[in-house]
A and B are shown apart, each in its own frame.
Chain A
Amino acid sequence: MLINRRKFLQQAGMAGGAIAAASVLPAAAHTAGIRRITILHTNDVHSRLDPFPMDGSRNQGMGGVTARGAVIEEIRNEGGEVLLLDAGDIFQGTPYFNMYKGEPEIKAMTMMGYDASTMGNHDFDGGLENFATQLQHAKFPILISNYEFSGTPMESKFQPYKIFQKGDLKIGVLGVGIELRGLVPENLYGKTVYTNPIEAANQSADALRKKGCDMVICLSHLGDKYDDDKISDEILAKETYDIDLIIGGHTHRFFEEPRKYRNRRGNDTIVNQVGWAGIQLGRLDYTFSGSQKKNLSNANTVVIRKKTRE
């Protein structure tokens, strides 16, 4: 029975294009007991609202919210369930931020229909008061489990995690941020208290699992990995119990493909990151079988393949 299901999924994986086409008719997918979710993600967009200018530089013509918005719209029009996420450092990097302090960035994300974001170190750059103020333009939550904001302007403006109901899937999303001391000037982070991201992430993931989430996603601004023992997505992936997917940032890394780690339960935790500046939009199509237990943490293997056809 197990073998058959695996075999079926392998075939389904190879026939990725066919499954994608079937998603236009969600009902068909349901009767087959297959659940699908498309996760779209960005990180470190750094106020890159316009494409890079056509000045002969490496990234000329790349990025920009108007083009990204159009790509996202096309994917939504395929008809499947979509979760659109960002891993922080929304702010800082173009004169837009110097002049407007993040207002058009947040407005653009709201218009594209972002479901959630976490906070990067540069989101503190205009001060916490400014970040909190710009969130009036956000129709998506800021998720962060390891910053304590008591006594700061962010006190009532964040959540440690949130559950998204997508079709008959319950997806839990949490966020973790990087150590601020030595990285962000003290006058900018003020009374924000950084706590251990692994402990905080495991606690939030445990809570999400107990609330019946089928899948747990962590938005992380820790960075993918380092030469020393600084906490990274790699370390978090190995130390987690219940996180299925880490959407990373901070290190501006363009992953060739998602990375796979064995977590504390011996299951697979996936990490992905898509560079910076909105040059890329990452897409992860998860398909999982409709067994008795929907829980994704029950999966000991995740078979990763490149999506080659629409």
Chain B
Amino acid sequence: MLRKITLFVALVFFAVSCSTSKQSISLLYKDYRIEKQTKTDSALVKMLQPYSVSMNASMNKVIGFSNDNLNKKQPESGLGNFMADAMLVMAEKKFRKKIDGAFMNDGGIRSYIPKGNITTGKIFELMPFDNLVVVQDVKGSVLQQFLDKTAADGGWPVSKGITMGIKEKKAVNISINGKPLDNNATYSIVNSDYVAGGGSDCTMLKGIPFLNRGYLLRDALIEFVSDLTKQGKPLDFTIEKRVVNVN
């Protein structure tokens, strides 16, 4: 009998400990910085080689020169100003139309421009997507909604001639070519087809017809830089209070 009770108690103990005992786990973490090192995987080097030889042949062409390191930054950056201005200038040429403003979605800026020579490959890294430059005619009220969206995002690059403030995630003090934004006026604006089609949550632009010449945004950047080089000019962009945070 005593043996049975002992067994019973042991079983109960086992059952209880089984259902309540939680396993403890230890986790050791480590981050390896992948840097240039003496060791490389020779099989991977061999696999990659034919791809890189052919790629470098077309991507290492020097098309211009930058006076400065241009990096992505919000609410405004020299890099963003370069991209927005290139879109405006090249769209006016391509579409033979006066443009009021060009915009670059911040999330679409994928790289940087280092000080010094600019290669075709650098522009491919900056704009890897096959996005197109398109033009939309929009009401001032729609432009306000769009700029509010850019403000809520922390600020998107805008072309020369546009200034705005960001206050409580809204666009304020908007000025377009020296005049305040007029809700009832119509503005010709340039975006990528991605944004104009409602991408990056720009639903206010979705459905508004756009002019499309199949002109790649990347080609616009390459041609803008090449044109500057032909004129003997370097890329010289900095911030100039186009977009500022207002408290």
Contacts and interface: CB of A to CB of B under 8 A. Distances in A.
Interface of A: 1-2, 5-6, 9-10, 12-13, 16, 20, 46-47, 49-51, 55-58, 61-71, 73-74, 92-100, 103-104, 107-108, 111-112, 125, 182-183, 185-186, 254, 257-258, 267-268, 270, 272, 274, 278-289, 291-293, 295-296, 298-307
B18 A9 contact: no
Given A70-B41, A281-B31, 19 more contacts: A13-B26, A46-B110, A49-B48, A49-B51, A61-B35, A62-B34, A94-B125, A94-B128, A98-B128, A112-B41, A274-B31, A281-B32, A285-B30, A289-B23, A296-B23, A301-B25, A302-B25, A302-B26, A305-B26
Contacts of B59: 95
Interface string B110-130: 111011100001001100111
A100 B59 CA distance: 13
A156 B56 CA distance: 36
23 contacts: A46-B110, A49-B52, A51-B35, A57-B112, A62-B33, A65-B41, A67-B37, A70-B41, A92-B128, A93-B128, A96-B52, A96-B55, A98-B128, A111-B47, A182-B198, A183-B200, A185-B199, A254-B31, A279-B34, A280-B33, A285-B29, A293-B21, A304-B27
B237 interface: no
A125 B47 CA distance: 24
Given A56-B115, A65-B48, A70 B39 contact: yes
Given A93-B110, A97-B128, A183-B199, A67 B26 contact: no
Given A108-B48, A111-B44, A292 B32 contact: no
B121 A95 contact: yes
B203 interface: yes
A102 B240 CA distance: 39
Nearest to A104: B51
Contacts of A111: 41, 43-44, 47
B197 A185 contact: yes
Contacts of B115: 56
Give the interface centre of A47, A66, A94, A183 by most chain B CB atoms within 10 Å: A66
Contacts of B51: 49, 96, 99-100, 103-104
Contacts of A287: 25-28
Nearest to A187: B197
Sorted from nearest, which 5 A-B pairs have the closest CB atoms? A69-B41, A66-B40, A307-B28, A307-B30, A55-B114
B125 A93 contact: yes
B46 to A, nearest CB: 10
Give the interface centre of A61, A95, A287, A293 by most chain B CB atoms within 10 Å: A95
B146 interface: no
Interface string B1-42: 000000000000000011001111111111111111101110
A95 B124 contact: yes
Contacts of A99: 51, 54-55, 58
Contacts of B24: 5-6, 9, 288-289, 299, 301-303
Interface residues of B, number: 54
Contact of B40 (A67, A254, A272): A67
Contacts of B52: 49-50, 96
Given A56-B115, A292-B18, A70 B37 contact: yes
A252 B52 CA distance: 25
A94 B124 contact: yes
B34 to A, nearest CB: 5
A291 B36 CA distance: 43
A1 B44 contact: no
A249 B69 CA distance: 27
A185 B30 CA distance: 37
Contacts of A67: 34-37, 39-41
A56 B28 CA distance: 34
Nearest to A103: B51
B69 A57 contact: yes
B201 A182 contact: yes
Contact of B29 (A51, A73, A185, A307): A307
Give the interface centre of A20, A57, A58 by most chain B CB atoms within 10 Å: A57
A161 B76 CA distance: 43
B95 interface: no
Given A2-B17, A107-B47, A285 B27 contact: yes
A310 B21 CA distance: 31
A55 B122 CA distance: 11
Contact of A282 (B29, B35, B55, B201): B29
A54 B194 CA distance: 32
A6 to B, nearest CB: 5
A62 B26 contact: no
A50 B24 CA distance: 41
Nearest to A285: B28
Nearest to A65: B44
B45 interface: yes
Contacts of B69: 56-57
Given A100-B51, A111-B47, A257 B29 contact: yes
A279 B33 CA distance: 6
